Structure 1
């Protein structure tokens, strides 16, 4: 337990991860099509303020503003040559907030998909993917990140490439997928098989789980089916704050603080040890989730029917109730921004 996340997991039964990055930055001026990572240079104080708001509302883990800070995504903003520097800045901004929190706060270096398609359907080779992630994670490590937080993944090959890069950088790692397609990832991975993405690597993950997706109820259903294999990894559930709706030209998420508190209690019952929010989750939502963690005692896992009765209807059927074909895990897809 030489790393800070393992130590904190040993001290606490359940950790609270933060909420959304993108949707919260939209609230303070981020424009559609603008990369949040560019604000690391133009508006670092707004990113600092968001990290601080999450910490003030009880977050044990804050994710850096680096989800799309890999060379393939940054080239869309003519910033591919600044990959290492931007990731270092992202980690330093979060580190500065964590270091004055007065309690242990983990800085997790957010690593999202490359946005490229793997060969033979696309041009991205596995070796290029590993080097892309290695470059990003090296910057995050230099900036002070405690752990590489690989998130919103859908392809086994891309998960493995990112995890291999983390190992090469001597960084502990976590990985989560988005199970938004009939209860599976876009590339067809069932929650029970997700852990197999990193089988055989020199280091095992600290945590495995799910983020984003299509709402809290579906996230909990995914949690019931998630298997971490023999990794000993903690389970992560980081759900969107309800279902998005387009209202008066803006995307609004339906989840209330009360609903996110209910989701948090059920996530504890499902067995999650790291619980947070993704798209639409504000610091105010996170405060309600903190209270839920602090006051709820773990119970037996709920049934899907109990989840629906408490949090609301599923958008998809659970993965085991859906049989899909034609999606080969490991081919990659264009990921979407976190939060």
Structure 2
């Protein structure tokens, strides 16, 4: 049974895994092979099949929330509600550490659309916070409801998540947090709100895949907006999870998410024959570390098992 095989993959990696995979359509013959803005698409019907392993359980989505955020930005840009070329300055007060502008030593200035690029391509937390300030937290929440993602909850951006961690640990800043957090017992770390799907940005594997399906079928907004999100997801720099499970000729557009003990990625897998499949994978480990290569590899293997099953069934 495919679900049992997937559970065994995660068990061997020392993790518990949840997964949802579903077809999103098939490329018509002769259609362009790149995900690029403005590209026209035709989808052929597919059977209503899926692979589901705990697909309706609540999960922390961490940086995967940036897909919904960037979608709202792209929708507002397509509707003329904001100018994607609008300039934004990223200052020392905005930086959270990490990739992109979040780790810069000096102030930088860039456009809203470049904030979206950095938020998606390298999971830039400072860029995501500034983009969220511009498009509005309430509008992102309303977008989830509009799309029928009733179990998806957005409580805030990366700064809100960090502030909650600092507060719970009793740290005044990131440096103090870096000292206090490692000294906490593991059971205390596991009680942090950031790791609890009932108290932080959360969804389910099924709703995460549904969001991607809607985007890939131009059903999450104007085609221009959906195309923009697809393009940005195809430019993600991190290739150690979903990508690791598939052959070189398979193209993947995705978004990762990582927190201590939580490893996840959601994306759309496209085969040379045109078949496209949305896959959402969430893994939880006993060890509260942010780097686990064996778990990252298991995410890719599990996704490949799920997609291979869908393809073998003629979807």
TM-score (norm 2): 0.31
From the CA coordinates, give the structure whose radius of gyration is larger: 2
TM-score (norm 1): 0.29
